[in-house]
Amino acid sequence: MDFEIWDAHVHLSGVPGATPEERLGRLLEFADRLGIRRVCVFMGLRWSYDPSPEEFRRQNDEVLRAIAAFPHRAFGFVYLNPKHTTASLEEIERCVVEGPMVGIKLWVAERCHSPLLDPIVARAVELQLPILQHTYLKATGNLPGESTPQDLAELARRHPRACFIAAHSGAQWEVGIRAFKPHRNIHAELCGFDPTNGVTEMAVRELGAERVIFGSDAGGRSFASQLAKVLDADISPHAKELILGGNLKRILAPSLARKGFG
Amino acid sequence: MANHSCSKESLTSVLQRKADRQAANVPKGPLVARREFVSSGSGTVGFTLAAAISPGLSAGILSQPQSEIPVPELSLPIVDTNVYLSSWPFRLLPEAEPARLVEKLRAYRVVQAWAGNFDALLHRDLAAVNTRLVRSCRATGGFLLPFPAINPKLPNWQEDLRQVVEEFAAPGIRLHPDYHGYSLDDADFIELLGQAAEHRLIVQLALMAEDERTVHPAVKVPSVDPKPLVDIIPGIRGLRCVLLNAQRVTPLPLLAKIVASGTVYVDISWQEGVGGVANLLSYVPAERVIFGSYFPRFYFLSAVLKLLESAISGEALANIIHKNALSLLEQR
Ligand SMILES: [Zn+2]
């Protein structure tokens, strides 16, 4: 089996470019220098904390346009707002069932332990889609709709058959990993905080390498600092292969098979 | 002043010889990184970042026999200006043991590292912290150079400075305004800069030890505002300053102004964003950018991979990874 680095968390930000595909092209040039083969992309050129349906549709359109230009390099995750249930479910149909996207991205519109997420999670389970949920613990105070790792643990307990990817592992990762541990359906994703020595070792020790996933949060972060968290960790080569691509490949397998990706 | 470490001349020439030798082995060519897939006996397949980047940033398989996942390496020797001994107060780092720290740095082709001590963040007996730092550095035969800490808000910090100069013969000092709780227009801080400059000490100003969003709730560490430096630095004759851990609190346009205000360098440990080092170089000349890893709090490889991501090569690469640091030492 060919080993490839797959990045679970990339945005169309941090690089110049008037169009989504120009920006993704620039990002992939940097990814190439570090051997990153595939990237999961979500959210558009301009963001808002609490997007209206028109707004998240526009952002998803931009991602659709970007990934269409690089079909062998980029996967799309559909960006939703749980406060708009019907529109979110329709957007899943449009972008995933009838479109090429392979996962769901939820950011900071609504804390993820809210019952508002239940219909979205139920549909994700039917479609075998992973949900990548932003989790952050900020000493400076979270945004009103910003999820903590504990919020995600609560959601995962309610939906044992769903597959969650915990973006940022809560940033205060000793706390995040502790919250995720009892829930086998949560994967700790490593992006979007400084390359703090020890994070990957602790995640592998507590969760097992099968539950740890590499992501960069490029272009806001560098691919480099985030990749170092895995390449420089004191873990086995097999664990590195799982974290850098193997786990994401496994999680996305049903979607990729459905869509005829190799 | 006794020089406790290696002779500067000999280190420079060793580095130059090493660089010349390695440059000769590195294929000259366009800035391209190519991936090669290599099969191993066990059937697993890894990749190498075989970068034909002239004339120095060569990535290949670092000899890690246990690993199928190759790690890029720099073919030029590295002077790392931002490492720490002892442990981060909130987490035991595996490399808190100096021997392990040095072993890991050497494995990554570091030939010299400038070291502070994490104990200086919270300990009040800085003389004891600094003495331990200097003792540990001396035991490495000049591989680690000590940058003792001074807190200008402690009574009689002048005695710490005297010790740094007369007893330790250290090349410089490292300041922690965040944990020591002063702003950069503080009169005692400005006085300390002046005295450090008189003694020809390099002043490493570590602007931030940790992202303010992840600090332990029991600790209230104020974010340091670097703006006053623009006005203060030009007033201090002979000051040579290195900003460490700067970028999170210093937007690049402000960083450019601070660097231009005097003999000021900035390290890359906290440079973020895709192609971050290239972005930094569009604001600050390569003659003022310096390699710092913030190891062992950060994974060492982060700083190396950033150079690769930004395809830094040639003279700029040499400047960043050792020449600027060595010329700073020589100016003493
Ligand atoms: Zn993100």
CA dihedral B249, B251, B256, B260 (to 10 degrees): -40
Residues of chain A with Cβ-Cβ distance to B42 below 8 Å are: none
Q: Do B276 and A224 touch (CB under 8 A)?
A: yes
Contact status, residue B312 vs residue A213, Cβ threshold 8 Å: no
Q: Which stretches of chain B drop beneath a pLDDT of 50?
A: 1-12, 14-68
Q: How far is B113 from chain A (nearest CA, A)?
A: 18
> Does B300 contact chain A (CB < 8 Å)?
yes
What phi, psi does B257 have (nearest 5°)? -65, -40
Convert the pLDDT of each residue in B311-328 to its tens digit.
Answer: 999 999 999 999 999 999
Q: What is the ipTM of this complex?
A: 0.96
Q: How far is A94 from chain B (nearest CA, A)?
A: 31
Across chain A, mean pLDDT equals 97
Burial (Cβ within 10 Å: 0-12, 13-18, ≥19) of residue A47: middle
The two tokens of residue B127 are 């003389």
Q: Do B46 and A3 touch (CB under 8 A)?
A: yes
Show which of residues 7-36 on chain A sit within 8 Å of chain B, judged by CB atoms.
Answer: 14-15, 27, 30, 32-35
Show which of residues 106-165 on chain A sit within 8 Å of chain B, judged by CB atoms.
Answer: 136-140
Mark B16-31 as b/e (b = at least 16 C-beta within 10 Å).
Answer: eebbeebbeebeeeee
Burial (Cβ within 10 Å: 0-12, 13-18, ≥19) of residue A203: buried
Q: How far is A104 from chain B (nearest CA, A)?
A: 24
Instruction: Give residue B220's pLDDT.
Output: 85
**pLDDT band at residue A116 under the 50/70/90 scheme:** very high
> Does A205 contact chain B (CB < 8 Å)?
no
Residues of chain B with Cβ-Cβ distance to A27 below 8 Å are: 274
What phi, psi does A197 have (nearest 5°)? -55, 125
CA dist., res. B309 & res. A194, Å (int) = 17
pTM: 0.89
Which residue type is seen at A243? I
In chain A, which ranges are continuous DSSP H helix?
20-33, 53-69, 85-92, 118-127, 149-158, 173-180, 199-207, 223-231, 237-241, 247-258
**pLDDT band at residue A3 under the 50/70/90 scheme:** confident
Collect all residues with Cβ–Cβ distance below 8 Å to B9 and sequence separation of at least 6. none
Which residues lie near ion ligand 1 (Cβ < 5 Å)? A 217
Show which of residues 155-194 on chain A sit within 8 Å of chain B, judged by CB atoms.
Answer: 171-172, 174, 193-194
Sign of the alpha-carbon torsion through A248, A250, A251, A253? positive
CA dist., res. B118 & res. B120, Å (int) = 5
> Does A233 contact chain B (CB < 8 Å)?
yes
Residues of chain B with Cβ-Cβ distance to A245 below 8 Å are: none
**Structural domain spans, chain B:** 8-63, 76-330
* Least CB–CB distance from B49: residue in A35, A196, A222: A35
What phi, psi does B147 have (nearest 5°)? -120, 85
Q: Do B274 and A223 touch (CB under 8 A)?
A: yes
Collect all residues with Cβ–Cβ distance below 8 Å to B131 and sequence separation of at least 6. none
CA dist., res. B84 & res. B212, Å (int) = 20
Please give the distance, rounded to the nearest whole angstrom, from the Cα atom of residue A80 to the centre of ligand 1. 14
Instruction: Give residue B70's pLDDT.
Output: 57
Q: How far is B222 from chain A (nearest CA, A)?
A: 11
Q: Which CATH superfamily is domain B76-330 in?
A: Metal-dependent hydrolases (3.20.20.140)
Q: How far is A219 from chain B (nearest CA, A)?
A: 5
Which residue type is seen at B60? G
Residue A12 DSSP label = S
> Does B103 contact chain A (CB < 8 Å)?
no
> Does B107 contact chain A (CB < 8 Å)?
no
CA dist., res. A78 & res. A57, Å (int) = 9
Collect all residues with Cβ–Cβ distance below 8 Å to B199 and sequence separation of at least 6. B161, B165
Whose structure tokens read 């190439």?
Answer: A32
